[in-house]
């Protein structure tokens, strides 16, 4: 499987940035994700690191697409 951000999504992100759109994320959401990454990085399993990275990517994608998190 190959992960690639489609060109139209990247172009939309540039436009939203130019328009001043911000995406809201709470501090505890960030800390939760950092802690998850720390556990994986401090372990000995490459699979755990891969899984943590995959979950982080999926979460970031969900945050990006969540219209309720956007504000000007």
The model's pLDDT over 11-29, given as tens digits with 9 standing for 90+, comes to: 999 999 999 999 999 999 9
The number of folded domains in the chain is 1
Is 41 inside any structural domain? Answer: yes
Q: Domain residues for 49?
A: 21-71
Mean per-residue pLDDT, 37-45: 94
Is 67 inside any structural domain? Answer: yes
Q: Mean pLDDT, the chain, as a whole number?
A: 95
Is 49 inside any structural domain? Answer: yes
Enter the pTM of the model.
0.86
The pLDDT of residue 40: 93
Query: What does DSSP assign to residue 43?
Result: S
∠ CA 8-53-45, nearest 5°, is 155
Q: Give CA–CA dist 3/6, Å, rounded.
A: 9
Instruction: Give the H/E segment covering residue 23.
Output: strand 22-23
State yes or no: pLDDT of 44 exceeds 90. Answer: yes
Give the 3-state secondary structure of residue 28.
Answer: helix
The pLDDT of residue 1: 79
Among the listed residues 27, 50, 51, 49, the one whose alpha carbon sits nearest the alpha carbon of residue 38: 49
């Amino acid at each position: 499987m190959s992960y690639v951000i489609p060109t139209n999504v990247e172009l939309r992100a540039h436009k939203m940035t130019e328009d001043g759109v911000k995406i809201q994320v709470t501090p505890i959401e960030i800390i939760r994700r950092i802690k998850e990454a720390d556990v994986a990085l401090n372990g000995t399993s490459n699979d755990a690191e891969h899984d943590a990275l995959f979950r982080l990517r999926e979460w970031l994608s969900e945050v990006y697409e969540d219209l309720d998190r956007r504000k000007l």
